[in-house]
Chain A
Amino acid sequence: KAGVTQTPRYLIKTRGQQVTLSCSPISGHRSVSWYQQTPGQGLQFLFEYFSETQRNKGNFPGRFSGRQFSNSRSEMNVSTLELGDSALYLCASSLNPDSTGELFFGEGSRLTVL
């Protein structure tokens, strides 16, 4: 069974640009959540999607957004990139939102902002 797939794995952007990251959940999983991982702040929750609806959002500015498609695939977008957005962005899937805490993580997309 294929795991959570994130693309691209690595990318470099400059300040002011925008970026879109993609996540394909495990087949049959309908809930997707996103996390940001940095050395200073650790792992921080960004948002959660289920049935194409955002169910929960972490404490991040509006420059961070996401969406989920009917096939459960998800994308997140960061606009007007700042140096501090450099991080590993992790996607996680679960069967449904009631699978509390039982998340399956991808290997992440490492974003470097110059």
Chain B
Amino acid sequence: GDSVTQMEGPVTLSEEAFLTINCTYTATGYPSLFWYVQYPGEGLQLLLKATKADDKGSNKGFEATYRKETTSFHLEKGSVQVSDSAVYFCALSDQAGTALIFGKGTTLSVSS
């Protein structure tokens, strides 16, 4: 079945460092891909999405490009801030509706 694999955490960075969180997927069709973020004490929030190959999703300085050839959707940010400390989830949807398949999540900790 469909699945999402993302790098294990925690990821610990200093402020202004470059961030990459790897995400790869397995799907039989042509899924839509998402990154969700969970800040401490808050609910999951959609960070960005891409619905077809070569699409780039971006938001709040974060970017991810849908790479069909490598089945990947890696999350990147050029300069992280302390406020980016959170758990990041990669997810896919291969059908209309709200049934997402999530990765296990990657905890990011940014120190000043």
Contacts and interface: CB of A to CB of B under 8 A. Distances in A.
A37 B105 CA distance: 11
A27 to B, nearest CB: 16
Interface string B63-96: 0000000000000000000000000010101011
B96 A100 contact: yes
Interface residues of A, number: 28
Chain B contact surface mostly: loop
Interface stretch (B12-20, B21-29, B39-47): B39-47
Contacts of A90: 43-44
Nearest to A103: B98
Contact of A97 (B44, B96, B103, B104): B96
A108 B43 contact: yes
Given A42-B103, A101-B49, A101-B91, A33 B42 contact: no
B7 interface: no
A31 B98 contact: yes
The size class of the interface chain B forms with chain A is: 20 to 34
A72 to B, nearest CB: 13
B58 interface: no
Contacts of A45: 99-101
A35 B102 CA distance: 10
Contacts of B51: 100
B27 to A, nearest CB: 13
Contacts of A16: none
Given A42-B104, A42-B105, A43-B89, A102 B99 contact: no
7 contacts: A4-B43, A31-B97, A35-B102, A42-B104, A92-B98, A100-B51, A101-B32
Interface of B: 32, 34, 41-46, 49, 51, 89, 91, 93, 95-105
